[in-house]
Amino acid sequence: MVDLLALQKHFILTHLGPGDTACDFTMGNGHDTAFLSKTVGETGRVAAFDIQPAALESTARRLREEQCPANWELYCRSHHLAGECVSGSIRAGMFNLGYMPGSGNKALTTMRETTLPAVEGALSMLGRDSILMVAVYPGHPEGAAEGEALQAYFATLSRYKLSIAKFQMLNSPTSPYFMIAETK
């Protein structure tokens, strides 16, 4: 069976390596932040964003427990403000939309109003041979609307500058799926 998380990491690893800069635009519990930190290593840099102080605490704890290199900065800010914190280009960016797993607050989710500008900003941060991965959770109304809005936006972008793909289980329409945008 297809493991979507493993597939996401496979795509990221085709672009990201030691010494690179990456962003986790929705840090949550820090799983992606830890993955990015280990991938870019001691000489790389990772910036991670979330509006919930609990996300920063959980992520910092995970990074310490997993003995990640001290190459990360955690920001208690919305992902649409990432460009104010990160200078230069990035090789990889990750979004996991929806709510923070384990938070007990399914009402606090990412929203189209900030997600769309955040994704647009993230695309502008990508350098050559870079990737942006966006995981969508359509099992709740805002998640479904976010996914539709992102697909409509991605469809408007030049295929000469970006290669954009969607990976979804066709026989499970409310299951999570992801989209990737790769620079050419």
pLDDT in tens, 69-83: 999 999 999 999 999
Judge whether 180 and 165 are in contact, CB under 8 Å: yes
C-alpha–C-alpha distance, residues 122 and 137, integer Å: 19
Q: 35-39, 49-53, 69-73, 142-146: lowest mean pLDDT where?
A: 142-146
Total residues belonging to the chain: 184
Judge whether 20 and 86 are in contact, CB under 8 Å: no
Under DSSP, the state recorded for 38 is H
Judge whether 40 and 16 are in contact, CB under 8 Å: yes
The dihedrals phi and psi of 10, each to the nearest 5 degrees, come to -55, -50
Closest to 103 in 3D by CA, of 18, 13, 27: 27
**Coil vs helix vs strand at 23:** strand
Closest to 105 in 3D by CA, of 50, 182, 171: 50
CATH 3.30.70.100 is the classification of domain 4-183:
no
DSSP class per residue in 66-114: TT--S-EEEEES-GGGGGGT--S-EEEEEEE-SB-TTSS-TT-B--HHH
pLDDT in tens, 119-129: 999 999 999 99
pLDDT in tens, 60-111: 999 999 999 999 999 999 999 999 999 999 999 999 987 556 555 666 677 7
Displacement of CA 105 from its chain's centroid (Å): 20
